Structure 1
Amino acid sequence: MQAVGSFIHLVLWLALAMLLVRFVVDWVQVFARSWSPKGPLLVVLEAVYTVTDPPLIALRRLIPPLRFGGIGIDLSFMVLLLICYLLLTINSRLLLS
């Protein structure tokens, strides 16, 4: 059971790392609109977006944006981060202890 727990732990950490990379890239694109990745970075970011898009799209269907007047705040990213952290904690308590 230890090997399964370690594998799940690794997968969850990789998912969190990819989500954090996506977070940084999204904010870079917000502040520097003319920036676009090139070369090997483009390949890495394409992989990150390919892995992180399906769960985010699924959560966006379930969780509507929080409206403040004319502004909508997308909570799906924060919910996905929270889910990953909770699964990581549960895995650590049950399978790795």
Structure 2
Amino acid sequence: MQVVAFAVYVAANILFYVLWARVILDVVRQVRRDWKPTGLWLAVSVTILTLTDPILRVARRIVKPVRVGGAMLDLSMLAVMALVLVVVVISGAMAS
């Protein structure tokens, strides 16, 4: 059981860091709208988007955006990161 918990712990940690990379990538794309990744950055950004898009697509269906004035605030990334963090804590406790 500890081996499975450790595997889940490692996978959840990797997903957590990939989600942070997605946050950084989204911020860069918002700040520099003319930024087009090339070479290695293209491969890295495509990998990050490929890994996180299915998870966020499901989360966006469940967690609806919140209207804040004239803008819509998407909290799906925050919800996914919180859920992954809970999985990290629980699986880490089970693995030790």
| TM bracket (short chain) | over 0.9
Partner of 1:17: 17
> 1:1-97, aligned counterparts within 5 Å?
1-93=1-93, 95-97=94-96
Measured in 2, the distance between the counterparts of 1:2 and 1:36 equals 44
Measured in 2, the distance between the counterparts of 1:68 and 1:21 equals 25
Measured in 2, the distance between the counterparts of 1:60 and 1:6 equals 29
Letter in 1 for 2:67: R
Gaps of 5+ in 2: none
How many equivalent pairs are there? 96
Measured in 2, the distance between the counterparts of 1:31 and 1:87 equals 32
Measured in 2, the distance between the counterparts of 1:45 and 1:96 equals 32
TM-score normalized by the length of structure 1: 0.92
Runs of 4+ aligned residues of structure 1 deviating over 4 Å after TM superposition are none
TM-score normalized by the length of structure 2: 0.93
Measured in 1, the distance between the counterparts of 2:64 and 2:91 equals 29
Higher normalized contact order (CA 8 Å, seq sep 6+, divided by chain length): 2
Measured in 2, the distance between the counterparts of 1:34 and 1:75 equals 25
Gaps of 5+ in 1: none
Measured in 2, the distance between the counterparts of 1:59 and 1:48 equals 17
Q: Residue 36 of structure 1: SS of its match in structure 2?
A: coil
